[in-house]
Structure 1
């Protein structure tokens, strides 16, 4: 694990090893959790030895690693250990334990953890950074719940924070925690906007943009996209809500194809005529629209922006290149990033972003994806989507988060990581190799008869990788599909009834 930094003297630059930085140690140990993702039994045993270290930063990294290992596990999580560290004196240890709880229990609505974290949120003596991470963890655990008590606690903490010091770079975590509570809840968000009137005008606008974009995320609502575009005008004194508004356009429009294309055209206009704060967010919005789906026109746009005169825009474009190619092993994007690593070899902050993007492109050696959609692009996973938008909002403040001491924001992507292969198993959940046809999905609504649901297909034996926009169907009469119980898995059962009659049953993922 290395952290970019500039050495003094003679204008030379270099990279210091993580041993020089306490937060670098924490991030290095936490990366074990990502390496051992979903392997709870052996993963916890390997991380446990670091919890008994004498260095608080190593302990913090181990606690965060425990949360990452349990990320996305639906069974009962063995994270009671983290509750013992959320009230420690060291802020780094507290933040790691709180963030680990949010990752491990995202979407679980655990009552015990809620009570513990609400105590921290209401504590006037708690440090601002601890309160901010508590708000985002509560938002993850109760994502889409519209929980009024949590909402009121976050608003009161934000009011208290505004009276003391709003200059810290982590204040945006509080409004984002509010937005996660109302993710996908269009009918309930209006009452939340009324409560936010207790805040100052500048913070109220920021909260309203996040609440609006989260509530209508993935709906493709044209009226809301127009509303958000209206807020992307020229800056007034003290305005900071343009960034969330631009991201909100992508969040709302990514639900369906035609709206996505129109959003891309609107973002290109913002790129040409927008203010610096708006232009910074456009590459991140493009990365969200085409996450793990490397479209050629988006690739070309982002490649051009990686050499922008504004360094913030260039770094955001580099990160977005990694997002659109995440888990695809795309050769063209990999070549672009290799060229960028040679071009920016003396600018270490740029080089650090390039290394992050390269890691994303080769995510899981090409076997994983960050797309939050599943069930043939029909359903949006709230927890996966939450992890992505937390990272994108962190990239709006990149110098103090990703390039500063909070670079472990990257670990929130663990919520969105999932396999992109199709596997077939029998009734006992044993792997079963079955021939399937894989091709581009075709819309068959309104067509008579039994039209094909894919085009340009090829026949493979499962397990098989599915690209963005691909669909699979069975190519054999021997089995019929039962209802899928896991994303990417189809349970099959032998059906002799259909073997003689030659009927074919199609299965789509």
Structure 2
């Protein structure tokens, strides 16, 4: 398929080849592939600006290859900072979208700070990408800081129809499902990548690389592709008959315990709630009572509980 793409006598050939390669390496953290994509981004395009379209796919590809891998993601964010400073205009337009792909539905303070600066960039394409990225990064979280930024942007760009349209889309992402839905493509304690969810995100991001000819024109329906990435972010516990069963659970920041001796705590800074509860991207839940046994190792989504036969209630 890749070889067939390279035989096409059109500038879309490079774009298609890079997209295919990066999708094949999605979530692998392949360092050599990231280096080859950086080489594409660093190439100076002297002719028609449209000739550099494949560089946009390369920037998104860096985020796609390193997504879900903590060390690789941190290195990629630093790389994107360099691309913002020294990259071509084409490359800079794709950087906010790549940052969004790195941290979907996970509004980290430093990332929001970077994107909020880019929303006032001199280049309209960079500003529009940054506004949409703010929506994706905060999707389904009702984040108050992002909500305030988007309200300010709606006033600032009140006379710019295209900018205002993107702000409204971003506000829709932010308040998606009244805060009960996430776009994060990973599940099972962030170990398994959902290809269906990732494909929906990629369809929207690739359409956003050239908003003038897609989202602002007759192809705005590409935004509906995001539906494949939507999933509830709540934890619901039920009994073996499927009836709701409220129990106490501890919800806190997930801690890496692989290779540690004994039975170390898998969460830190936890709070105790009764189910159903909402889980953020980096949250983990565990049962706070021995009365029930979960039939899954990971407490996410709908979890079936069974009565613990060895449970002895306190006298």
TM-score (normalizing by structure 2): 0.95
8 A contact 1:292–1:326 mirrored in 2: yes
Q: Which residue of 2 aligns with 1:195?
A: 4
Counterpart among 125, 130, 133 of residue 312 in structure 1? 125
Q: Distance in 1 between matches of 2:164 and 2:86?
A: 28
The corresponding residue for 2:40 is 231
Question: Which residue number in structure 1 is paired with residue 290 of structure 2?
Answer: 477
Q: Count matched residues.
A: 310
Residues 213 and 323 (structure 1), Cα distance of their counterparts in 2 relative to 1, 3 Å cut: same
Deviations 1:452-473 (A, max 9, x none): 1000111111000001200000
1:405 matches 2:226: no
**Aligned residue number for residue 21 of structure 1:** none
Matches within 5 A, 1:333-412: 333-412=146-225
- Preserved CA contact (<8 Å) 1:349 1:403: yes
Cα 1:501–1:219 change in 2 (3 A) is farther
CA contact (8 A) 2:234 2:300 kept: no
Larger relative contact order (CA 8 Å, sep ≥ 6): 2
1:439 to 207, 228, 252: 252
Corresponding residue SS for 2:250: strand
* 1:207 lines up with 2:12 in the alignment: no
Work out which of the residue numbers 325, 330, 336 in structure 1 matches 2:143: 330
| Structure label with greater radius of gyration | 1
In the other structure, the counterpart of 1:500 is 312
What stretches of structure 2 of length at least 5 have no aligned partner? Answer: none
CA distance in 2, matches of 1:274, 1:468: 31
**How far apart, CA to CA, are the structure 2 residues paired with 1:296 and 1:304?**
13
1:216 lines up with 2:25 in the alignment: yes
Partner of 1:180 in structure 2? none
**Equivalent residues of 1:305, 1:314 under 8 A apart:** yes
| 2:55 alignment partner, one of 242, 248, 262 | 242
The two structures, once aligned, show a CA RMSD in angstroms of 1.7
Paired residue secondary structure (2:260): coil
* Contact 1:484–1:491 (Cα < 8 Å) also in 2: no
Residue 258 of structure 1 and its aligned partner are, at CA, apart by: 1.1
**What SS does the aligned partner of 1:231 have?**
helix
